[in-house]
Amino acid sequence: MRKNLASVFQLLGEQSLRTATLPKAYTDLLGRRIFLFLLTVQGLGAFALITAGVILKKSRVARNVIWPRIRQEIVRAGVGLMPMFLFLALALGFLVVGQTVSWLTRFGANQYIGTVMVIVVVRELGPLLAAMLVLTRVGTANVIELGTARATGEVEALEALGIDPVHYLIMPRVVGMAVGVFALTIYLIIGALVSGYLWAFLQDVPLTPGDYFKQLAESLGWLDFALLALKTIAFGFFIAIVTCYHGLAQPLRLTEVSQVAVRAVTQGIIVCVLIDALFILLYLVA
Amino acid sequence: MSEAPNIKVLEMRDVASGTMHDPEKVVVEGVNWTVTAGEFWVIAGEQRSGKTDFLMTMAGLMAPVKGSYRFFGNEVRMFDETRLAERLRVGFVFEGGQLFHHLTLGQNVALPLQYHRNLTDGAAEREAEPLLELMELSPLTGALPAGVSRNWLKRAGLARALMLKPDVLLLDNPLRGLDTRHARWWLDFLDGLCRGHEWLNGRPVTVVATADNLRPWRSEHRRFALLQDKGFRSLGLWNEMESAADPAARELLGAPHSD
């Protein structure tokens, strides 16, 4: 295990690339950036594979230790964020309805509010927003906790006790975040759909609740449910991978934890957007 | 000590050790060394002489850069998943205890047993109780590491390493930063382990400790070695070492007790 991890983190030998003096030519700088990008992709990919392997292989090992930890992480990345998500659901319903109602009335099309809600909230904004919030609230904490654990030698301590650090530290976080993002997205969507009607009602849009929910039901296909589940789980999984990778790969110095946290959040956002783009392709093809 | 005569626990032939930060950089090289079961070794070296990295190589946490390292007769590079049983024969005590900050002292000590035997929290803590009692840690069982003094953190680190009843105990600078009373306790306790302790059903443990000052370790049955200028030198027993008039050894002997 150690060897695998070490070789993955070795890719962060890029550290020397990051701190090297600026090259004289712009093409060199571009080349260096691309090289760094590729190294990061390679490192993240390898780390994701190792983690997926551990999740599959060791799902039954030391359940009395790992399952409570998974439960803790679900509480942290899911249940703990519920109050904020309720507020967000209200706001999301308001902003989508508030923006679209005036436009749709102009064309006499405000009976399509339900369809707009499905496209905007269910397919795009809901999952992405949930992922971003979990990334900033829980992902950053991940980087800092793991970075500190690494800098203070806790990772070596785990290995010395014959406990696989990926199994003990990473797997609960990955599972917790995947479940957390998935569940929060569902609540966010339901909340936003309900509050959307509320705001429409307050704006005197002539739409009965029956019509509104019928519209929603008609614009939702089975594909929406399947892709929503896949997408949110992918978001959660990769947010956890990116943040844990940067936390653990952090080369043993406490001063670098904050820089690494910033880098992890940036990369987390990029990864989410890339996954989202991939799913838009799927929607278009299907 | 008489129970297991002449079993070679550790055997190093021309071993070179890297560092945790940079596995290619050699900090100690050309080590030829044999540790027999039941021996008590103290490896002295100044700060940054590679004591910790050498100990980690010995514990199989890091592969030696070159050379042959045998652990109970089996060639070792690194203890990976497939060699878990061998890994668990080694107890490793880190310099600062290196406890897991999110667990209480009691949970820290119980964790290895709980993980490897898949016990519930309650069962694991019950199993750990006698050991905590033995190490005088009972009053601190529920405390988080952040609120506990270094003396007790180190002792909890020792308890955690002993939880799985290892055959070999490796200690990284155990006396550093300890109060005199605690240091005394450690020396006595380690001697007890080496002779055979009730916690391990009287089975003697092979002990290797590092130190930056040899004086507190003075005793006729401990063996000494020196890490200096990337080299490893076995100095033998205390009286052999005193008569050897080795300047480096003298320095480590004569240095005032700094901690």
Q: Are residues B9 and B113 in the same domain?
A: no
Residues B10 and B84 in one domain: yes
At A169 the pLDDT is 94
Asked if residue B94 is part of any domain, the answer here is: no
- Over residues A132-175, the pLDDT tens digits come to 999 999 999 999 899 888 888 899 899 999 999 999 999 999 99
CA–CA dist B226, B220 (Å, integer): 17
What is the C-alpha separation between B241 and B224, in angstroms, rounded?
8
- Residue B48, domain member (yes or no): yes
Tell me what pLDDT residue B256 has: 46
- Whose structure tokens read 């956002």? A269
Judgement on whether residues B85 and B47 belong to the same structural domain of the protein: yes
Single residue among B165, B180, B206 that ends a domain in this structure: B165
- Cα gap B235→B184, rounded to integer Å: 24
Residue B259 maps to a domain:
no
**One domain, residues B247 and B150:** no
* Residue contact B114–A2, C-beta within 8 A: no
Q: Is A161's CB within 8 Å of B119's CB?
A: no
- Using a CB–CB cutoff of 8 Å, tell me whether A152 touches chain B: yes
Q: What is the CATH number of the domain that holds B6?
A: 3.40.50.300
Q: Can you tell me which residue has the tokens 């063996």?
A: B223
Is A168 in Cβ contact with B164 (below 8 Å)? no
Q: Measured between alpha carbons, how far is B162 from A246 in angstroms, rounded to an integer?
A: 32
Q: What are A225's two structure tokens? A: 């449910």
B235 and B189 in a common domain: yes
Q: Does B214 contact A at CB distance below 8 Å?
A: no
Assign B233 to helix, strand or coil.
strand
Q: Which parts of chain B register pLDDT below 70?
A: 1-5, 23, 243-259
Separation CA A190–CA A93 (nearest Å): 10
Same domain membership, residue B73 and residue B127: no
- Domain termination site, one of B109, B141, B165: B165
Instruction: Please tell me the predicted confidence (pLDDT) of residue B25.
Output: 84
Q: Assess whether B133 and B229 both reside in one domain.
A: no
Residues B155 and B171 reside in one and the same domain = no
Both B84 and B2 in one domain: the answer is yes
Task: Please answer whether residues A39 and A11 qualify as being in contact, where contact means their C-beta atoms are separated by less than 8 angstroms.
Answer: yes
Domain ends where: B139, B165, B191? B165
Determine the pLDDT at residue B257. Answer: 42
Residue B52 lies in a domain: yes
Residue with tokens 């230790």: A65
For residues B207 and B35, is the Cβ–Cβ distance under 8 A? no
The answer to whether residue B215 neighbours chain A at the CB level (below 8 Å) is no
Tell me, yes or no, whether B256 lies in a domain: no
d(CA A196, CA A198): 5
Question: Per-block average pLDDT, block size 10, for chain A (286 residues)?
Answer: 57 58 75 83 91 92 92 93 92 85 77 81 90 93 88 89 93 95 94 88 82 86 90 95 86 72 90 93 84
Which residue range is the domain that position B62 belongs to? 1-89+166-251
Per DSSP, helices labelled H in B16-165 are: 51-58, 84-87, 105-117, 121-134, 150-162
- Count contacts between A and B (CB, < 8 Å): 77
Say if B80 falls within a structural domain.
yes
Domain annotation covers residue B57: yes
Write the ipTM. Answer: 0.89
- For residue A55, the distance in angstroms to the closest alpha carbon of chain B comes to 15
Mention every residue, 6+ apart, whose C-beta is less than 8 A from residue B23: A6, B62, B63, B65
Q: Is residue B45 part of a domain?
A: yes
B89/A contact by beta carbon, under 8 A: no
Nearest-Cα residue of chain B relative to residue A161: B112
Amino acid at B170: L
CA distance A172 to A166: 9
B136 touches chain A (CB under 8 A): no
Same domain, B53 and B159: no
Domain count for chain B, please give it: 2
Residues B16 and B29 in one domain: yes
Q: Based on the domain organization, do B19 and B145 belong to the same domain? A: no
Q: What is the token pair recorded at A58?
A: 């060791």
